[in-house]
Chains A and B, each alone.
Chain A
């Protein structure tokens, strides 16, 4: 029983730090892309770099998070890549806004708060 308790506690700590560090990395990348998009300097390669980085992180995250939640990030990111590639910056910015919001709120959604428990 003690071993299982330790295993669960260890897994919980690992999950907490993995999600937090992964999404803080994603947030930094999104912030850089948003800045470039606002200045209309972003190109397809910039957006693809963020997408590739996310896809690498996603592999690990899917072990910890519901796949549908992860897929929401995928969808918005795909749209952003296309819009940036076509230089439709005005339309890409709201998508980036949503992505930033998701990356900010995901770690909080898995925190053991009263709202999340019930």
Chain B
């Protein structure tokens, strides 16, 4: 029985560390330790239930051990502040006044497309429409929009360059071709596309450009032949 309790605690600790290392993308609205408990508890309850050669007591003891571990972690989470960050993680500010924080994105196993997807899900289509965006420790996404953000979202911005690579599908949607955007980047001082973290362009001609490790810029362009989307 002591063996079952210790083994349960070991697996709990290992899963908790792995979940924390996996980053926020894997969590989805649960604290890491809550997800670990959800993962474990069903298996712990089911195995002795289905396999009659294992005493049912093993399942009961494991589930009770999980309960004690949960209460212990909750207690540490509430009472020991420095441990809160270790156990549950901290919110990651992925967009600030300077634009996208590439380091924070990488730290949480996310990329620019994930961020833009989260923004769209939250109702923000334009990167410059928000001042701050955060991935909370439970994996949910929060954003603080600019006061007049609705005015900034008049057309759907398409991702033209994502982390140093042109997005061929989106470029095809614009109908402008890759050379046009290469020239656009050169005109804004970008020598190598690999240096670009993100370039978006909306149908109204508004572009959002951020080079790696630099502050973002927005500018307006007139598309040739009155192109729009």
Contacts and interface: CB of A to CB of B under 8 A. Distances in A.
Interface of A: 1, 4-5, 7-8, 11-12, 15-16, 62-68, 110-112, 116-118
Contacts of B54: 66-67
A12 B67 contact: no
Chain B, interface size: which category? 20 to 34
Given A1-B71, A8-B61, A8-B64, A112 B53 contact: no
Contacts of A111: 2-3
B76 interface: no
A12 B4 CA distance: 10
28 contacts: A1-B67, A1-B71, A1-B72, A4-B64, A4-B68, A8-B1, A8-B5, A8-B64, A8-B65, A8-B68, A12-B5, A15-B1, A16-B1, A63-B55, A63-B57, A64-B1, A64-B57, A67-B53, A67-B55, A68-B53, A110-B1, A111-B2, A111-B3, A112-B3, A112-B6, A116-B3, A117-B10, A118-B10
B53 A66 contact: yes
Contact of A7 (B7, B53, B64, B72): B64
Nearest to A114: B6
A112 B2 contact: yes
Contacts of B58: 66
Nearest to B52: A67
Contacts of B72: 1
A21 B168 CA distance: 74
A1 B7 CA distance: 19
B55 A64 contact: yes
A1 B53 CA distance: 29
Nearest to A61: B55
A16 B52 contact: no
Nearest to B65: A8
Contacts of A15: 1-2
A63 B67 CA distance: 22
Nearest to A110: B3
A15 B7 CA distance: 16
B67 A66 contact: no
B3 A117 contact: yes
A54 B191 CA distance: 84
A5 B7 CA distance: 16
Contacts of B6: 112, 117
Contact of B68 (A5, A64, A117): A5
Nearest to B72: A1
Contacts of A66: 53-55, 58
A68 B55 CA distance: 10
A62 B52 CA distance: 11
A83 B53 CA distance: 28
Nearest to A67: B53
A66 B52 CA distance: 9
Which of B1, B6, B65 gathers most chain A CB within 10 Å? B1
Nearest to B60: A11
Contact of B1 (A5, A11, A62, A117): A11
A106 to B, nearest CB: 13
A65 B55 contact: yes
The 8 closest A-B pairs by CB, nearest first: A1-B71, A112-B2, A15-B1, A67-B53, A12-B1, A12-B2, A68-B53, A112-B3
